[in-house]
């Protein structure tokens, strides 16, 4: 889990939401006690053994009835209608350029191979691109064989793959002016993507952003590396109340790259600080742009039409203040970064209040190109979570999948004749092709029979999912129960928390990991609880922590632990809590509350003070420090340092965390030292927020040993 997972809440923020079809069971079940017999437990080594994970099934729709599937180094094309398949890209072709992935051009004539991957931030990376001509079999091993790309922070376009690139912008400069790509905060918090340019449907125009970080203050951290002297990483990183990047939108005519026009922000927004939220082409001469004010309480969807060489604002299609909207694309094959439907001239929206769909799905525009009922029917069956209120439309997945599939998602072919149904749980995951025209399963892609066989001789935990009624809400929790669970016995308890705005930890997804090991081998109950501030249970619950982070979401984890102890099977003297990112923050705040409930806790990459986190995320929930001074000051971990004397605390952080900076953990460490608190700490050199590579397994080994000492 990451601090930035919750992208929208309380503020008006247009987002693309992947179509999730979730069946909502009204009965909560607990697997019956099982006899472990001679079964082996699920070990810590098993938790990091990829062969002991359920398989997924990747595919990319390329038409209404064809998709590409990559397996064992090659790519196969499948025809769903005929049931035939053939090799599309051989392993030898991938090996020719040592490619790890590929992209198919829109016209189906070229493949872009990617090699030499190097991660930058969460979504951005650098790579070597090679263009493969499917007709001739010739490979161009140059990144410049694209019709649009960014090089040294400038935008280039080409009229054809073999033509000479033409430079569109000239002012690009590292950490100052970025053309065609977002800076750190826009990538992380606004776009959830490294993409900063967008083709019009017919390819006549290219829209791109200019990100100006001139006034943004710099965060610096040391990169130790392998050289004699370490280097310093510098990132423009706006924090609450400090200058933000200035982002402008331009459109270039690809037939005449000197014809560049700014898409100007409307006057009511342009006079103050604002964000460019989304960009969506409607036609080659119409573009839809969402603008959002800095405090994220006012959003407009502005439509622009091309008149001569000017993009004129012709109408405001949506003007929302102090309400919470989801913008959902219903385009078949949509992805998370597709905020509007190309089948609708503009968009489809719904307003969520109190956990219920209170307005109809709206197709706003001149024409519905595809059958409206078919698509709206799929979207109106979205049950945002098992906690939501069941709507009256027929469930599309219930009869198909049954009680083992209560958390489902759909990925549609181009005209929605078929879709890949992904069943994520609570049973072992399953993937299949569904014929949308008759709502029948056509092909099973992956049923994980091999995985079932691998775990058949292992003593696996059972899952308990239920609700606790608190503060007038039915609040959900889940528990991993040890094999052979006996209610008359006492078990140690570990709370696995995230707790951030609009987050969810209790769900019906089937997971195998560290919690599986702890329950199976260590006989520890691992529980998660969604309290106030969590998502998908209505605005009243979610908005409870608006302008007051570090309050109710912290109190509720303490209350939940007490409720679990009262159930009678928890050892009250062996209760712990752990979390990562926002979960690390909540863990630290809980331990610093001095409740006496928890014996120990582990905080990975925690926030310590909201003043230190980025502006877009923090101000969305806390406003600016000058407008909410008391809650900024009262929501710090460091102010609770003296109450850590009574708990065992493990603090973990990567020194190259570009998201929640090492500064945050350093502040906690300093405060604890000042109070003479004895605690444990683990720093991971040159590791970012995800603690990847060898650090990841090392972390879980280290936390396991810490937990064993705590519960001894």
pLDDT tens track for 317-370: 878 876 544 443 333 333 333 222 222 222 333 322 222 222 222 222 222 222
pLDDT tens for residues 47-84? Answer: 999 999 999 999 999 999 999 999 999 999 999 999 99
E-strand stretches of 294-369: 298-307, 310-321, 325-328, 347-353, 356-357, 362-364
Helix (H) or strand (E) holding 666: helix 662-674
Q: Residues near 491 by Cβ (< 8 Å), separated by ≥ 6?
A: 482, 485, 523, 524, 525, 569, 570, 571
Q: Residues near 698 by Cβ (< 8 Å), separated by ≥ 6?
A: 684
At residue 8, the pLDDT reads: 30
Please give the average per-residue pLDDT across 434-447, as a whole number.
Answer: 93
Torsion region of 521: left, alpha or beta (phi above 0 gives left; psi -120 to 50 gives alpha):
alpha
At residue 37, the pLDDT reads: 61
455-711: CATH superfamily: Alpha/Beta hydrolase fold, catalytic domain (3.40.50.1820)
At residue 587, the pLDDT reads: 98
Torsion region of 377: left, alpha or beta (phi above 0 gives left; psi -120 to 50 gives alpha):
alpha
In the residue annotation, 645 being an active-site residue is answered as no
How far, in Å, CA of 112 to CA of 94, rounded? 11
Q: How confident is the model at residue 139 (pLDDT cuts 50, 70, 90)?
A: confident
* In the block, residue with structure tokens 């601090």: 3
In the residue annotation, 657 being an active-site residue is answered as yes
Please give the average per-residue pLDDT across 164-177, as a whole number.
Answer: 95
At residue 6, the pLDDT reads: 34
- Dig out the tokens for 309 from the structure: 């060489």
Instruction: For residue 281, report the phi and psi dihedrals to the nearest 5 degrees.
Output: -75, 140
* Active-site residue, selected from the candidate residues 274, 653, 661, 689: 689
Higher per-residue pLDDT: 408 or 160: 408
CB atoms closer than 10 angstroms to residue 284: 14
At residue 370, the pLDDT reads: 27
E-strand stretches of 165-245: 166-167, 177-179, 197-199, 205-212, 218-223, 231-236
pLDDT at 502 over 60: yes
Cis peptide before 426 (omega within 30 of 0): yes
Instruction: For residue 96, report the phi and psi dihedrals to the nearest 5 degrees.
Output: -60, -35
CB atoms closer than 10 angstroms to residue 559: 20
Torsion region of 493: left, alpha or beta (phi above 0 gives left; psi -120 to 50 gives alpha):
beta
How far, in Å, CA of 645 to CA of 677, rounded? 5
Q: How confident is the model at residue 680 (pLDDT cuts 50, 70, 90)?
A: very high
- Dig out the tokens for 138 from the structure: 């010739």
Check: pTM over 0.85? Answer yes or no.
Answer: yes
* In the block, residue with structure tokens 């705005």: 501
* Active-site residue, selected from the candidate residues 539, 657, 658, 688: 657
Q: For the ranges 306-310, 338-342, 702-706, which has the lowest average pLDDT?
A: 338-342
pLDDT at 459 over 60: yes
* Active-site residue, selected from the candidate residues 581, 588, 595, 608: 581
CB atoms closer than 10 angstroms to residue 503: 21
Q: Tell me, what DSSP letter sits at residue 3?
A: G
C-alpha torsion 73→77→80→85, nearest 10:
-90
Cβ atoms of 651 and 641 closer than 8 Å: no
Q: Work out the end-to-end distance of the chain between its first and last CA atoms, rounded to an integer number of angstroms.
A: 28
3-state secondary structure of 384: coil
At residue 142, the pLDDT reads: 55
In the residue annotation, 56 being an active-site residue is answered as no
Higher per-residue pLDDT: 391 or 293: 293
At residue 381, the pLDDT reads: 34
At residue 310, the pLDDT reads: 94
């Amino acid at each position: 889990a990451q601090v930035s997972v919750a992208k929208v809440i309380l503020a008006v923020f247009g987002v693309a939401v992947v179509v999730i079809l979730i069946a909502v069971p009204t009965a909560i079940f607990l697997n019956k006690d099982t006899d472990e017999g001679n079964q082996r437990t699920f070990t810590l080594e098993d938790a990091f053994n990829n062969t002991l994970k359920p398989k997924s099934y990747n595919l990319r729709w390329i038409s209404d009835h064809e998709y590409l599937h990559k397996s064992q180094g090659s790519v196969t094309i499948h025809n769903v209608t005929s049931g035939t398949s053939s090799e599309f890209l051989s392993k030898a072709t991938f090996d020719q350029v040592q490619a790890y992935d590929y992209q198919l051009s829109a016209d189906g004539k070229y493949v872009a191979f990617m090699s030499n991957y190097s991660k930058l931030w969460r979504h951005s990376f650098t790579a070597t691109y090679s263009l493969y001509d499917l007709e001739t079999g010739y490979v161009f091993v140059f990144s410049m064989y694209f019709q649009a790309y960014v090089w040294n922070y400038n935008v280039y376009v080409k009229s054809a793959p073999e033509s000479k690139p033409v430079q569109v912008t000239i002012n690009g400069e590292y950490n100052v002016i970025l053309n065609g790509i977002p800076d750190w905060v826009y990538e992380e918090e606004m776009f959830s993507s490294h993409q900063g340019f967008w083709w019009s449907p017919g390819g006549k125009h290219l829209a791109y952003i200019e990100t100006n970080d001139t006034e943004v203050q710099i965060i610096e951290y040391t990169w130790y590396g392998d050289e004699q002297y370490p280097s310093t990483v510098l990132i423009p990183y706006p924090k609450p109340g400090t200058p933000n990047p200035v982002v402008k939108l331009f459109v270039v005519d690809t037939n005449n790259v000197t014809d560049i026009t700014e898409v100007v922000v409307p006057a009511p927004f342009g006079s103050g600080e604002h964000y460019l939220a989304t960009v969506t082409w409607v036609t080659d001469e119409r573009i839809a742009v969402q603008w959002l004010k800095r405090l994220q309480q006012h959003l407009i969807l502005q439509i622009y039409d091309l008149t001569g060489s000017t993009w004129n604002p012709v109408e405001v299609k949506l003007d929302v203040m102090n309400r919470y909207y989801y913008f959902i694309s219903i385009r078949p094959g949509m992805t998370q970064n597709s905020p509007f439907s190309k089948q609708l001239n503009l968009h489809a929206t719904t307003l969520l209040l109190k956990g219920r769909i209170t307005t109809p799905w709206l197709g706003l525009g001149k024409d519905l190109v595809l059958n409206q009922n078919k698509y709206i029917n799929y979207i109106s069956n979205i049950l945002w979570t098992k906690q939501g209120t069941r709507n009256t439309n027929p469930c599309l997945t219930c009869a198909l999948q049954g009680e083992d599939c209560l958390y489902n998602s759909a990925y549609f072919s181009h005209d929605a004749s078929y879709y890949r149904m992904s069943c994520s749980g609570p049973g072992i995951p399953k993937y299949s092709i569904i014929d949308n025209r008759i709502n029948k399963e056509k092909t099973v892609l992956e049923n994980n029979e091999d995985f079932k066989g691998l775990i058949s001789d292992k003593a696996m935990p059972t899952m308990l999912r239920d609700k606790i009624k608190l503060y007038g809400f039915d609040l959900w929790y889940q528990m991993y129960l040890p094999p052979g669970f006996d209610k008359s016995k006492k078990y140690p308890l570990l709370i696995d928390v995230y707790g951030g705005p609009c987050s969810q930890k209790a769900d019906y997804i089937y997971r195998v990991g560290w919690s599986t090991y702890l329950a199976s081998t260590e006989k520890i109950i691992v529980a998660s609880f969604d309290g106030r501030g969590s998502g998908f249970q209505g605005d009243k619950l979610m908005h409870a922590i608006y302008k007051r982070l570090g309050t109710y979401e912290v109190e509720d984890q303490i209350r939940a632990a007490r409720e679990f102890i009262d159930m009678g099977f928890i050892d009250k003297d062996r209760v712990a809590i752990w979390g990562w990112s926002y979960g690390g923050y909540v863990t630290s705040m809980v331990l610093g509350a001095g409740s006496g409930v928890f014996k120990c806790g582990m905080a990975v990459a925690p926030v310590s003070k909201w003043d230190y986190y980025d502006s877009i995320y923090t101000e969305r929930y806390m406003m600016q420090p000058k407008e909410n001074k008391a809650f900024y000051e009262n929501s710090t971990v460091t102010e609770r340092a003296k109450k850590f004397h009574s708990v065992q605390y493990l603090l973990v952080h990567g020194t190259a965390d570009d998201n929640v900076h090492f500064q945050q953990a350093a502040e906690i460490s300093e405060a604890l030292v000042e109070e003479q608190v004895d605690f444990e700490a683990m720093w991971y050199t040159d590791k970012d927020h995800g603690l990847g590579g060898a650090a990841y397994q090392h972390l879980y080994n280290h936390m396991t040993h810490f937990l064993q000492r705590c519960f001894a």
